[in-house]
Structure formats: C-alpha cells, structure tokens
Chain A
Amino acid sequence: KNEVEQSPQNLTAQEGEFITINCSYSVGISALHWLQQHPGGGIVSLFMLSSGKKKHGRLIATINIQEKHSSLHITASHPRDSAVYICAAGRRNTGNQFYFGTGTSLTVIP
C-alpha cells in the first residue's frame, strides 16, 4: 500500500477548463508538497502547505489535515500547464523523509 495516493493518474482537459488533482495520504505529516515535472524531467516545487489553502497565480492548493487529503486546482488551464503533478508528504518525526505519489499526468489541449 502506498503512503500517498493520487488521482486521477491521467487527465486530459480543454484549454480554459478548471482542473482538480487529488492526493490522499496515510502517514502523519509535517508538510505536504505539490511538485510539477515537465517533459524532460525538471522538477519544480509549487506549494508547501501544512494547513488551509495557498494560491499562486492560477494555482490553488488546499489541505484538510483531519481527512488527510489535499487538492491542487488549476483555473483557466493552458497548454503550458501540461506536466506531471506530484504530491509529496513530508513525514513527521523522521527527519525530512518524503513519500511521493506516482503523479498525475496532465495534458491541456488548445
């Protein structure tokens, strides 16, 4: 059983659509991270959150600690948002060890 589960695994959307990617985790966490990996491999950290909600441009990340669930939302999606989005749980009390979801591959069609 994976400590971090993401859904959906693959997602295709039309440009302009509102997108939601979900992440559930089973371990106690110090923080939850959302990462973006573009074709070619470069990984960028989008958000780090331990409670509530964060917003950066068209991206919004929320977390519900009681339900052990986080969502990443993309408003007004654009083809350049096409990437793999990875949820990572920073495990509490084990240094900075992270458990990763297998990623959601997003394709936004013009």
Chain B
Amino acid sequence: GAGVSQSPSNKVTEKGKDVELRCDPISGHTALYWYRQSLGQGLEFLIYFQGNSAPDKSGLPSDRFSAERTGGSVSTLTIQRTQQEDSAVYLCASSAGQKGQPQHFGDGTRLSIL
C-alpha cells in the first residue's frame, strides 16, 4: 500500500499477557518511529530507527517494552507482562530519513488491557 500500515487496529488482552504490534512503513523510508498516545494525553515518543544505525530507545517507559526492525522495513513493538497503564493508542510513523522530513503516520493500534 501507499501509506504506513499498522496491525492489529485493535487489541484487547488481559493484564500480564505479552502483545506484539506491527508496523509496515512506506517503502523506501529509512526512518521509523513508535509513539504512544494515552487517553487525553499528547503523543509520547517511544523509539526511533534510522537505517542500520542503533535505535534511539530513550523513550521506552520500561524494560517491558522492546522493538525490532527487521531488514530495515517492518517493525514490531513488543510489550511484555502488560499492565493497565499500557492501554493507549500506539502509533507508527515513517519518513524519508533526512532530519526534519515530514512523518507519515499509520492509523495506530488501540491497545486495551483488562
């Protein structure tokens, strides 16, 4: 597709379970970002991938959160031992990679922890 694709669009799971969220960036985009938007809150940076460089993980809120980007394309955000405060919309964005380039956002995954 032409845009950033995220799956699933909605995920409901029980507290303590692990979840995986997937992001397919725009083809050719070397930069990929994960953000979190909690109810009533602004966007929160989680992690940034740029090409083959080591990712910037400075926004990950705890060691239960991790992300991978395989082959410089698809990315997976994993949350282990989910907690209720992890409930949020998780957004992925990609850009062409040069600093300041506009980001293209996916529609997000709405995660609900029961």
Contact A95 B102, CB 8 Å, known A86-B42, A101-B42 = no
**Chain B interface category by residue count:** 20 to 34
Among the 9-residue stretches B18-26, B61-69, B79-87, B93-101, the one with 4 or more Cβ atoms under 8 Å from chain A is: B93-101
A-side interface mostly: strand
Please name all residues of chain B whose beta carbon is closer than 8 Å to the beta carbon of A90 when the two chains form the complex.
99-100
Taking CB atoms and an 8 Å cut-off, the chain B residues in 1-52 that contact chain A are 31, 33, 35, 41-45, 48, 50
Please name all residues of chain B whose beta carbon is closer than 8 Å to the beta carbon of A50 when the two chains form the complex.
100
Contact A97 B42 (CB under 8 A): no
Contact B48 A48 (CB under 8 A): no
Contact A103 B105 (CB under 8 A): no
Contact B103 A45 (CB under 8 A): yes
A21, B18: Cα distance in complex, Å = 40
Contact B56 A95 (CB under 8 A): yes
Contact A99 B99 (CB under 8 A): no
CB-contact partner of A97 in B56, B102, B107, B110, under 8 A: B56
A96, B43: Cα distance in complex, Å = 15
Contact B102 A96 (CB under 8 A): no
Shortest Cβ gap from A36 to chain B (Å): 10
Q: List 30 A-B contacts (CB under 8 A).
A: A30-B100, A41-B89, A41-B91, A41-B110, A42-B105, A42-B107, A43-B93, A43-B105, A44-B105, A45-B104, A48-B100, A50-B100, A86-B43, A88-B43, A90-B100, A95-B48, A95-B50, A95-B99, A96-B31, A96-B33, A96-B50, A96-B95, A96-B99, A96-B100, A97-B45, A97-B48, A97-B56, A98-B45, A99-B45, A101-B42
Instruction: Give 4 closest A-B pairs by Cβ, nearest first.
Output: A31-B100, A43-B105, A102-B42, A100-B43
Chain A interface residues (CB < 8 Å from chain B) = 30-31, 33, 35, 41-45, 48, 50, 86, 88, 90, 94-103
